[in-house]
Amino acid sequence: MPVTDFEFKEKYRYKNGFGSYVETEAVPGALPVGYNSPQQPPHGLYAEKLSGTAFTAPRHENQQTWCYRVLPSCTHPPFEEDLEGPFNLTKPYSPASLRIIPNQLRWDPFDHDDQTDFVTGLRLIAGAGDPTLKQGIGMYIYAAGKSMNSHSAFYSADGDLLIVAQDGVLDIRTELGWLLVRPMEICVIPRGIKYQVHLPSGPVRGYALEIYQGHFTLPELGPIGSNCLANARDFQAPLACFSEDFGATAASGPNSYSITAKFNNGLFVTKQNHTPFDVVAWHGNYYPYKYDLGRFNTIGTISFDHPDPSIFTVLSAFSDHPGTAVADFVIFPPRWLVAEDTFRPPWYHRNTMSEFMGLIEGVYDAKKGGSGGFMPGGASLHNVMSGHGPDAESCEGARNAELKPMLVGKGSCAFMFESYLMVGVTEWGLKTCRKVQSAYNEHSWNGVKVHWKRPEGASTDGHLLK
């Protein structure tokens, strides 16, 4: 299926293309021509530059956007720390608060929460590194039952946030325009961009990955050529859209706007007397975007052996070492298998990368669902060098299956956040959420059978000199 058949229909227009240089204006003539910061921008607007990389970053890596807005972002009172923030970390944040353990972990589906909005419903489940050093990642579960207040906005100074919608629709208003994000879609909101999340279809649940360093990009294709996997043309960026509430009341009045900043995994709040959504026009290549996972063009073997799962990478955030990622976002959508004389599920393995998996819908072909299994809205974590692979039932089924062409994963999509970092788990993830499956190992691998039969006459001491 080339695109996802969504129940909730699209209602916005977008600009298409990954990493494209975009210009968009909600009012004709709002973008200055030939200048970025003229003495008097059109229509009495202010020019404000939003920099996602250092000014001196190489041209091919440089990310920035020029915004033309009613009032600049700095016009607000000082921030104050919100000591009741939702991230469940010891204050002040310390990477030492994470439990770094080798055990394989799996979680039952996380609960919906009707009492929270998107921000208060975010829960840090695992991560590594330190936002203050711009190194590492954070992995989240979100669950919300109500829209954010229309006079509020949120942004993260810690990193870019990739959101995976699992259940329910997110109608996201950003400074640069609107994005509608439905199950089987993802979006990325870069560091520093303010946004507000509405829930047009009711309660929502999903996953999120924050990268403290760099930005997501498309993986290199190498010998694959110039197409396949996630194609650049299928990524969508918002069009400029703005409001005109700009200071008729004081910042403490009933029409004030509450701005929440995530800073070193803590929350800070200020109130201002004008809307943050006042960008009338913008141009640049630093902006939020979304992508329909149904457009991912899978590839695989047409002869034998199961290729590495890197062939399912949608987006990567590269480290300083070529070929190694701070984070990869990988999906396992419906696909055909035709490999001859091949164990077709993912093989058993130990990986120098950490693997956090979630299930958007359906049943993952290497893990059985049902009670105590891998279920939509749940998750698993296999840390650096922790062994894992198909459960016993899936293994036996694959060993004995008739190897005819088959469509696997129909109606299903699993994903993986993969990182070269050793990942720690929060207290919320290990205990507070009460979703860890204590019998994960027993349920999955205690029943793996021994098929070994030593040939008659074969020795166990072939390493000895005769």
Binding-site residue positions for homogentisate: 364, 388
* Binding-site annotation, residues: 349, 355, 364, 388
Nearest residue to 203 (alpha-carbon basis) of 170, 178, 232: 170
Q: Is 306 a catalytic residue?
A: yes
* Binding-site annotation, residues for Fe cation: 349, 355, 388
Select which of 198, 306, 451, 463 is catalytic: 306
Q: Which residues are catalytic?
A: 306
